[in-house]
Amino acid sequence: MSSTSTSVPLLSTPDLSHTWKRATDEPDWVRRSLITIALVFLGLFLVLPLAVVLYSAFEQGLGVWYAAITEPDAAASIRLTLLVVVFVVPINVIFGVAVAWAITKFEFPGKPLLLAIIDMPFAISPVVVGLIFVILFGSQGWLGNWLSAHDMRIIFAVPGIIIVIAFGTLPFVARELIPLMQQQGKQEEEASLTLGASGWKTFWYVTLPNIKWGLIYGVILCNARAMGEFGAVAIVSGRIRGETNTMPLHIEVLYNEYMFTAAFAVSSILTGLALVTIAIKSTVEWFESRHNAE
């Protein structure tokens, strides 16, 4: 999960460390080339694109940028994306905690299978995920007749978008929590139960505080991915402008229509949200490492 760097204490006799190379040190040129490669790649593939996005977005001034993001269709895509997140994150929190709890605290048949298939949403291509749900819920699909009989729309509507994004981000919370809860065991919960606490109070006062940081971390990853999901949404949303286009989809539409400034303006919002997520994630990691060091 989080990589904690250990600081090597300085040698008390600096003269020696200069004259005698430590046995575990790499040769100078190896170190330098590795650092250079890492920095060049980071600059080329991360920093530069980020700078391009921000530069292009604000190239024609703040006024144009503001007009681009308040344009009705763009604003609708931003609202839709945030709405999806509001649904998807709680769904994944409930699912993730339930799965992690079941896997780490109970013995039941099919447990190894559950552990194996929990990663499936990561393994399947998002386009295939979209198609699966179209086949299930589409008007020609298995449940299509029943749905239209009850006047319900899933495909080419917001529920479909929420379903495919929830599916695609399903493993995030569970994957964070399972190793954490496995490592913690169930003794504290057992102690709580013997002290007369109900199962719910045990979860609330003992389990939740213990998994708090892992849970927040999982939510952040889930949130970041939910906002950026493209492939599966492109299939099930029907790409109705101002209605079923999330931000990534809307950006693509603008791009295809040669509206580069507008495309980059909306991109800058998505990128900004991602940067905020990374900032929160780093803060959480910092808190977590401090918490663990206690």
Partner 1 sequence: MSIRIHQINKRFKDFVAVDNVTLELPEGELTALLGPSGSGKTTLLRIIAGLEQPDSGRIEFYGEDATHQHVSDRGVGFVFQHYALFKHMTVYENVAYGLTVKPRRFRPSKDEIRKKVMRLLELVQLDWTAHRYPSQLSGGQRQRIALARALAVEPKVLLLDEPFGALDAKVRAELRRWLRRLHDEIHVTSVFVTHDQEEALEVSDRVVVMNQGRVEQEGTPEEVYDHPANPFVYQFLGNVNRFHTHIESGHARIGNLSIPAPELTDVDQKSGLTYIRPHDFEVLAEKSAENAIHAVIETVLVVGPTVRLELRTDSADELIHVELPKHRFRELGLLQGDDAWLKPLNSRIFLASA
CB of 190 to partner 1, least distance (A): 6
CA 168 to chain centre: 10
- Cα(175)–Cα(121) distance, rounded to whole angstroms? 12
21 contacts partner 1 (rule: CB under 8 A): no
C-alpha–C-alpha distance, residues 290 and 294, integer Å? 6
- CB of residue 205 to partner 1, shortest distance in Å: 7
* SS percent in the chain: helix, strand, coil, step 5: 75, 0, 25
Q: For residue 125, what is the DSSP state? A: -
- Quick note: the x/- pattern for partner 1 over 48-67, rule CB under 8 A, is --------------------
Q: Backbone phi, then psi, for 169, in 5-degree steps?
A: -105, 10
Among 35, 39, 195, 240, binds partner 1 (CB under 8 A): 195
Stretch that binds partner 1, among 110-118, 173-181, 190-198, 258-266 (CB under 8 A): 190-198
Task: Using alpha carbons, select from 248, 96, 98 the residue that is nearest to residue 161.
Answer: 248
Residues between 197 and 226 that touch partner 1 (CB under 8 A): 197-198, 201, 205-206, 209-210
Nearest CA among 278, 100, 85 for reference residue 203: 100
Closer residue to partner 1 (CB): 192 or 267: 192
How many residues interact with partner 1 (rule CB under 8 A)? 17
Question: Does 111 help bind partner 1 (rule: CB under 8 A)?
Answer: no
Q: Which residues bind partner 1 (CB under 8 A)?
A: 187-188, 190-198, 201, 205-206, 209-210, 294
